Amino acid sequence: MSGHDARLTELYRDFDAYGLLPLWTQREDLMPVTPRPAAVPHRWRWKEVYDLAVRAGDLVPVGRGGERRAISLANPGLPGLPHATPTLWAAVQYLGPNEVAPVHRHSQNAFRFVLEGEGVWTLVNGDPVAMRRGDLLLTPGWAWHGHHNTTEQPMAWLDGLDIPLSNALNTEFFQFGPDSLDDRSTPERSRAERLWGHPGLRPVSATATDLPKSPLAAYRWEHTDAALRAQLELEDEGHPGVTAPGHAAVRFTNPTSGDDALPTIRTEMHRLRAGASTRAARESASSVWQVFEGDGVFHLDGKAVEVARGDLLAVPSWAEVRIEARGQLDLFRFGDHPVMERLNLYLTDRTNPATSEGTTR
């Protein structure tokens, strides 16, 4: 070994001894030309997940210890982690007949989206909120919440949280509440809906300052469905409104500011006409999709994935996605877009400077 090689070997050994890594050996891993997430595009079949949830309902009690009977989506690219993507946690929660999930709260933001069923009320900061098919229910960070099933039938829904993001930032906090729910009432509409659920109207009694998270506890399917239907009717009449031909979409927003309903999670509903398709696209944000109704095909990085009612899909950052609808296809999506936008890290394949025409590398 030459004197130079010996000194170089000693240099690298000393780097290691002092807990250092030279940039010139890490550059490709640290700064790739485009994102290279460990998470991979993946589909979970609703029937398979639900059947396992039913089995868990027979064997696993809900309550202190288990706290929630929730089955998380574990991305194959993130082995050993209950994460759908590096920033998003998704799970199917199952509540059996007449069961109660006790009250707790946490720093992470959360929501519930109901694929089917009714008869469960969630108690959010003491406000009873009905859960029904197609509804989006919010549990912002630090909100006390518990659930109770008033029927003889089980109910399952999609939970979405920013747990992986919170874990990465070391901002996780959790607190137990009472073992039982103080309020078992079952009102048709929550107090939050009665105050905030009127289009374009803000209560004068509320603070004039915009709130960082939506005060509206529930976004009802009847309103979401009507908005999507109206967009497609306007398209039929030759007026603007759809996001692309045959593609209606809405975003759930904070009525005090117009921002996303949750500060770290974007929530949307999409409807594609029969035979419609989206263009192939990439974005530097990750998403989880659930098929609410209909069937079709997701093209994920060129691979065709058949989807049907209830199926769930993870779409990591910079994965190419294109969607085709067979019949009418209704899709719920949540993603980490608010975080990426606020950090000025959100790009698409149309806005990425590294792929823009005339860019010098």
Averaged pLDDT of the chain: 93
User: What is the rounded distance in angstroms from the CA atom of residue 187 to the CA atom of residue 175?
Assistant: 27
Per-residue pLDDT reduced to its tens digit, 107-121: 999 999 999 899 999
Per-residue pLDDT reduced to its tens digit, 50-101: 999 999 999 998 876 567 899 999 999 999 999 999 999 999 999 999 999 9
Q: Which residue has the higher pLDDT, 127 or 352?
A: 127
Compute the average pLDDT of residues 236-264: 97
Indicate if the pLDDT at residue 215 is higher than 90: yes
Percent of the chain with pLDDT over 70: 96
pLDDT-derived band at 358 (thresholds 50, 70, 90) equals very low
Whole-structure pTM value: 0.93
Compute the average pLDDT of residues 201-229: 92
Compute the average pLDDT of residues 146-171: 96
Count of CA atoms in the C-beta half-sphere (13 A) of 104: 18
Contacts for 164 with CB less than 8 Å, ≥ 6 apart: 81, 83, 85, 86, 87, 88, 89
Closest CA to 306 of 283, 336, 326, 286: 326
User: What is the rounded distance in angstroms from the CA atom of residue 5 to the CA atom of residue 237?
Assistant: 75
Please give the structure tokens belonging to residue 220. Answer: 């009802």
Q: How far is C-alpha 5 from the geometric centre of its chain's CA atoms?
A: 52
